[in-house]
Chains A and B, each alone.
Chain A
Amino acid sequence: MTEKNQIPEEKKEGTAAEAVTENTPAAAESEAAKPKKDPRNRLFRSDRMTIVAPAPHAKGRNSVPRIMYTVIAALLPAAVMSILLFGTKAMVTLMVAVFAAMVAEFACNKIMKTGITVDDGSAILTGLLLALTLPPTFPIAGTALGAVVVIVFGKQVFGGLGANIFNPALLGRAFLQASFPVKITTWTLPALGGSNAYYDLVTSKAVDTVTGATPLGLMKFEGIGTHLKPLLFGNIGGCLGETSAIAILIGGLVLVILKYADWRIPLSYIGTVFLFSGALWLIDPAAYPDPLFMILSGGLMLGAFFMATDMVTSPVTPAGTWIYGIGMGVILVVIRIWGGLPEGVMYSILFMNGLVPLLNRWTRPKYFGEIQEEKKKS
């Protein structure tokens, strides 16, 4: 869009000579090399120019890398919590995923000759998100493979940042779930241990004290609930980043306050899950889990605040965002209660991601003055 200010040759000299009135014309001509006294003169010279460009000439401070790095920073509480709970194994998984994602991005940039986009932070974020959805015992080679798949098939084949339809991190996890169905459902208990009802229950049940089921697995397959306190602090089995609801909430609220995540998405997603499962629980408290357990267990918090709010794969219109969130909530409860899997966050988000282009089209906001026009016609 920018067009540099090129003043025709004769004009340039004309104005320069006019402005430097105290000099002779000959001196003015040799002046070209020396800096001029009047700063205005340079406006008409070709070596230092002002910009001629269309408005606006001002710009807000927001930028894509700023958004990406802020989201990464908001994920840090969850990442730190995962390291505290699951030890060095978690740290290695996080680092491998991030590094593999960056390398894959760099390789794609080179092959596709698109210019280096590693520094915009989106690859780091995607790698980090993938790692946080993996169980602590997941093999390192699998993590690296997942991160490469995420970048290559989740993002770059679509055309890079902003062009993908599905959340890349979740697409990668879906791939890993299909490839390593046993490894990805083998859960380790947090190293912190401690004594609480859940911990005692799991350790007494399992022969191997290291592995144990997630609260959702316990609920689904054995009909056993978990207390809320371990759910909040993360002292339970599960994926790296999903166990501590509080750590996720801290980061998620920061994003919502900074408006880097649309508040409607977590509200409508978690709200729908709460209301839908609450209604079921009221009908039959014995058969269905209570709604607080439903929203605090599994990957719902992580998914609602960090996966579903991914800007690229969520709707841009307010109405579309509500439908998107409610749709995800309904699908999640259906999968968790009547489906074959204990957890459905990944599929609920991926499914609604696919509907986003349609939602954007259906929910175009009424333009300013459009409603009134319709009223007048009728």
Chain B
Amino acid sequence: MKLSTFKKGLHPEDYKYFSQGQAIETLPLPDDVYLPLQQHIGTPCEPLVKKGDRVKTGQIIADSSSYVSAPVHASITGVVKDIEKYYHPLGMRATMIHIRREGEEAWELLEKIRDWKWTPKEKLLETIRKAGIVGLGGATFPTHVKLNPPDDKAIDSFILNGVECEPYLTADDRLMIEQSDKILLGMAIMMHILDVQKGYIGIENNKPEAIARMQKRVVELGYPFKVVPLKVKYPQGAEKMLIYSVLKRKVPYSKLPMDVGVVVNNVATAFAVAEAVTEAKPLVQRVITVTGDGVNQPKNLMVRLGTPFKNLFDACGNVKDEVNRIFMGGPMMGMTQYHLESPVVKGSSGIVAVTGELVEELSTFPCIRCGACVRTCPMNLMPLRLSKLSQEKQTDKLESFGVMNCIECGSCAFVCPANIPLVQWIRVGKIRLRERNARKAKERS
């Protein structure tokens, strides 16, 4: 059978074997958690607690009045030790609420929903917002916004993203195997909110167990969903690529998936939605893969948000001596960590420690115009040209070559035989273009 997929892209070695067979373990409650005020795309939250306050697990400790935002919950029961600048896994110091664990675990749950099928959609969306749910695949866009498209967009299909195309990561894979019922329930709730009938579950073919499990449960529970096995290829998990792989629809330039009638959500998000709606549990924990050849015992862990990464490594037999790079997320788009005190945030799907040759130490050559980047770019761009224009600060030309289409998947830099940091230069170019456009808009007004 020919599996569906998108055009171009590449096949990095997937290294999933480190943690693919490891069942999800729950990490013991940490003594300290650090909860950043911003763990989502949108307006940062304002703290609602002050130093010395006692908080319960699940209590909202920071929120914003803005629509595109998601509240932050206390992930353990204890005392607010401080509200301070601390190490954020995205590579900066950000304001975080530091909670020290104290006493027995006590929960503050959301308002109970008795039967979601007969609850108004506004109420369900409100619950999802209050639960602080954002896209858990890594993009962290608030889910209640995604599930509430403007009225003029007719949504006809829902795709559940179980692709997990980044090498190393297995968190979604394990979640699909172990929590398939809850994921399917979450998907049904989201489709109910959107009022769509067609549901697809996209899973890459290197997760046969997850595909079999999901397929089995879909049939047994009588859901009208279609499990779509996909050919293994990076970056299939990118929304636009996944929509093309599953439905062969192309999201137009500068448009959103909802413009072609599709909403995509991650399996971990579906799981969180099911927990919030049926068990009134806010988002205080997530599954994270701790893996890489630099970790002694790679594992998939269910951890409370805000747990420092070093606790995770402790639970996995610590890192090896020769580790030379630690990053959050996959190797293609992940962020290197500069401090292991950085906490798990909503968008952390994995933490990977690797040894071996460093990409940065490979020698760089001039571009020989081999065209490998052009053949690989899933968005059909010319990375060699964009990176060159970015280096030459030709911002106008950058725009005409479609730099804003770039999804920063890193495929071009991966395949480049000259080892040119293509995607990095393109990012610089995008920032320059945005700055220039902002300047222009200012001048006009």
Contact = CB atoms under 8 A, between A and B. Distances in A.
A368 interface: yes
A62 B13 CA distance: 14
B250 A161 contact: no
A372 B250 CA distance: 7
A38 B374 CA distance: 45
B368 interface: yes
Interface of A: 1-2, 5, 7, 11, 15, 38-40, 42-44, 50-60, 62-67, 120, 159-163, 262, 311-312, 314-317, 360, 364-373, 376
B320 interface: yes
Given A56-B333, A161-B365, A163-B366, A367 B402 contact: yes
A172 B24 CA distance: 65
A371 B12 CA distance: 29
A53 to B, nearest CB: 6
Contacts of B313: 40
Interface in B162-187: 167
B332 interface: yes
Contacts of B367: 162
A367 B338 contact: no
Contact of B327 (A55, A366, A370): A55
Given A7-B338, A312-B369, A316-B382, A58 B253 contact: no
A1 B425 CA distance: 10
Closest 6 pairs between A and B when the two form their complex, measured CB to CB = A316-B371, A56-B410, A162-B366, A2-B360, A58-B331, A64-B365
Contact of A161 (B325, B360, B368, B410): B368
A340 to B, nearest CB: 33
B333 A53 contact: no
B208 interface: no
Nearest to A115: B363
Nearest to A364: B382
A77 B310 CA distance: 57
B235 to A, nearest CB: 11
A366 B7 CA distance: 13
Contact of A368 (B323, B379, B418): B379
A76 B424 CA distance: 38
B250 A57 contact: no
Contacts of B318: 38-40
Interface size band for B = 35 or more
A61 B23 CA distance: 32
Main SS class of interface, B: loop
Contact of B413 (A43, A56, A317): A56
Contacts of B331: 55-58
Nearest to A163: B366
B368 A367 contact: no
B250 A1 contact: no
Given A43-B339, A51-B325, 8 more contacts: A39-B319, A50-B324, A55-B329, A56-B414, A62-B416, A63-B418, A311-B369, A365-B382
A369 B253 contact: yes
Interface string B370-395: 11101000111110110000000000
B370 A67 contact: yes
Contacts of B385: 360
Nearest to A61: B417
A162 B427 CA distance: 23
A370 B414 contact: no
A365 B381 CA distance: 7
Contact of B310 (A40, A53, A58): A40
B324 A162 contact: no
10 contacts: A5-B338, A40-B310, A54-B423, A56-B331, A57-B325, A58-B13, A58-B331, A367-B253, A368-B244, A369-B251
